[in-house]
Amino acid sequence: MARRHRTCRRAAAERLLAGLQERLPNQAILVGARPACWSGDWATRPWPAKEWRPARLRGAPSPTLHGCAQRGDEPGMRVVVTGGAGFIGSHLVDALVERGDQVLVVDDLSTGRRENVNPLAVFRRLDVRSPEAAAAIREWSPEVLCHHAAMASVSRSVREPLLDADVNVVGGLRMLEVARETGARFIFASTGGALYGDAAVLPTPETEPAWPVSPYGVAKLALEHYLYCYRAQHGLGYLALRYANVYGPRQDPHGEAGVVAIFCRRLLSGEQPVINGDGLQTRDYVFVGDVVRANLAAIESAACGHVNIGTGRQCDVNTLLRLVAERVGVEAVEVHGPPRPGDQRTSALDASRARSLLGWEPLVPLEQGLEETVAWFRDHPS
């Protein structure tokens, strides 16, 4: 099994190298031993990703697909996406399937939805903390493991820090062990918005210290440290993507996270949204299609470490309500409630490192992304 897996990995690496050499004929591509994280001269810059748009309905043709290169006759990669029935994970699964990859989705459906899962992906309803999930992934023998499964509520992490650590740290460690055993590259859905706290520098680069003010942020940072440890001890290939506040179609409007989705659902239903606190807290809102493109670039890259995935633009919640209301076609009325425990005041991410290492930058401005998102919620009223 190990020999077969190494052969598959070698073939995948040769395909990737050939593709890079074809697309970048004038750029030297270094292979073999690589230094520790962030020796930037060895990192090759992949070809630019196209713009991505979600299909409005499952199975409906999307004019630009997901912006991913079609593999043609080339065999696809074997990829696992944990949390692949959720908001971001399901869009990533769609993009991987569309480009010809073989995808296993592992999700316990605690927050994800079965109907989000692409019918061409293999689905297993399993908790990432369980031995059964690890066994299913070992049997799949992936080349890449994209870890999006998480307990993603900041406020719930404040109320239940032990549960948060169990899901986000212990569950993540179990996935790391599987990646170590199978030799899979590990792409981790981390956080930038909750990691840096109220940073002194905005937009915040990765060089700023990480002082999370919520258990959720602490857990994400802890798993990043485990990734670095596994790189040093076992040679694990990985990249942690520190997301800003991701929004877009399929976001859950019923939980405590996802303010864009909450505003869309309530305004379209004729209900009054309630803003937590004074509404002057700022966030960096990045469209889910741009986040999918970052994941695809991370999969194809040899880069190791952590990168911010955001726009660098701050938008306060009061302004966000007005922008959503304009696209719904109703008047924005601000109603304020108490602030949420664990919320920070400001957040915006500097994505310069993602641009230099991955060739990634956000393509969808907030106003355009909100148009897409409102249209999707209008088409999906339930």
Is it the case that residue 32 has pLDDT exceeding 60? Answer: no
Domain boundaries of the chain, sorted by first residue: 75-379
> Across the chain, how many H-helices and E-strands are there?
12, 13
How far is residue 192's CA from residue 281's CA, in Å, rounded to a whole number?
Answer: 16
CA distances from 371 to 7, 51, 57, 63, 116 (A): 46, 16, 16, 17, 21
pLDDT (average), residues 8-25: 45
Percent of the residues in the chain that have a pLDDT greater than 90, as a whole number: 74
Is it the case that residue 223 has pLDDT exceeding 70? Answer: yes
pLDDT (average), residues 279-297: 97
What pLDDT was estimated at residue 155?
A: 86
- Does the pTM exceed 0.85? no
Is it the case that residue 309 has pLDDT exceeding 50? Answer: yes
* DSSP code, position 143: S
What pLDDT was estimated at residue 74?
A: 66
Is it the case that residue 27 has pLDDT exceeding 50? Answer: no
CA distances from 55 to 49, 97, 132 (A): 18, 14, 33
What pLDDT was estimated at residue 342?
A: 67
CA proximity to 49, closest of 29, 73, 23, 17: 23
How far is residue 378's CA from residue 373's CA, in Å, rounded to a whole number?
Answer: 9
Terminal CA-CA length for the chain: 46
Average pLDDT of every residue of the chain: 85
Please check whether residue 360 is in contact with residue 312, taking contact to mean a CB–CB distance below 8 angstroms.
no
What pLDDT was estimated at residue 340?
A: 82
CATH architecture of 75-379: 3-Layer(aba) Sandwich (3.40)
Band of residue 382 on the pLDDT scale cut at 50, 70, 90: confident
3-state SS string for 163-202: HHHHHHHHHHHHHHHHHHHHCCEEEEEEECCCCCCCCCCC
Least confident interval from 43-47, 48-52, 92-96? 43-47
Q: Residues with catalytic annotation?
A: 216
Is it the case that residue 11 has pLDDT exceeding 70? Answer: no
**Number of other CB atoms surrounding residue 194 within 10 Å:** 28
Is it the case that residue 207 has pLDDT exceeding 70? Answer: yes
Is it the case that residue 66 has pLDDT exceeding 50? Answer: no
What pLDDT was estimated at residue 193?
A: 82
158, amino acid identity: V
Give Cβ neighbours of residue 139 (< 8 Å, ≥ 6 apart): none
Is it the case that residue 315 has pLDDT exceeding 90? Answer: yes
Is it the case that residue 68 has pLDDT exceeding 80? Answer: no
Least confident interval from 48-52, 95-99, 195-199, 361-365? 48-52
How far is residue 282's CA from residue 265's CA, in Å, rounded to a whole number?
Answer: 21
Is it the case that residue 4 has pLDDT exceeding 50? Answer: no
322-375: per-residue pLDDT in tens?
A: 999 999 999 999 999 999 876 789 999 999 999 999 999 999 999 999 999 999
Is it the case that residue 2 has pLDDT exceeding 50? Answer: no
pLDDT (average), residues 137-162: 95
What pLDDT was estimated at residue 70?
A: 53
Percent of the residues in the chain that have a pLDDT greater than 70, as a whole number: 80
Q: Bigger pLDDT: 130 or 44?
A: 130
